[in-house]
Amino acid sequence: MPKIQKSEQEWRAILDPEQFAVLRQKGTERPYVGKYTDFKGKGIYTCAGCDAPLYESSTKFDSHCGWPAFYQALPGALITEEDNSHGMQRIEIMCASCGGHLGHIFKGEGYNTPTDERHCVNSISLKFSPKDDNK
């Protein structure tokens, strides 16, 4: 169960309509339009709904699927759930802090990553915090 509980009205006040559609209604942004699809910055990706840390930039890789791809989340950052919608068997990933929909995990696709997983994440579900090299 997510730690952050808000009403639909509270989420609508916090999120823009596109973020609400993806994070709270399990939507999907169109491929290749998200701001983080080809982004290469060093830092931490956080949940756009609650700012919880989700992924280190070092786990992001080029999957050429149209959405940001990561091979591993930060420990305890995600909740997973079986998703059999749209005639497919997938694993949905959600923010463990607020329950916001992030995307899906795909396994065994043959990517050269340590986990052989592709966390296919909607850019609109993410924020980015750059690494401060002075710390």
| Residues identified as active-site | 120
Q: Name the token pair of 18.
A: 């596109």
DSSP class per residue in 35-73: TTSS----EEEEETTT--EEEEGGGEE---SSS-EES-P
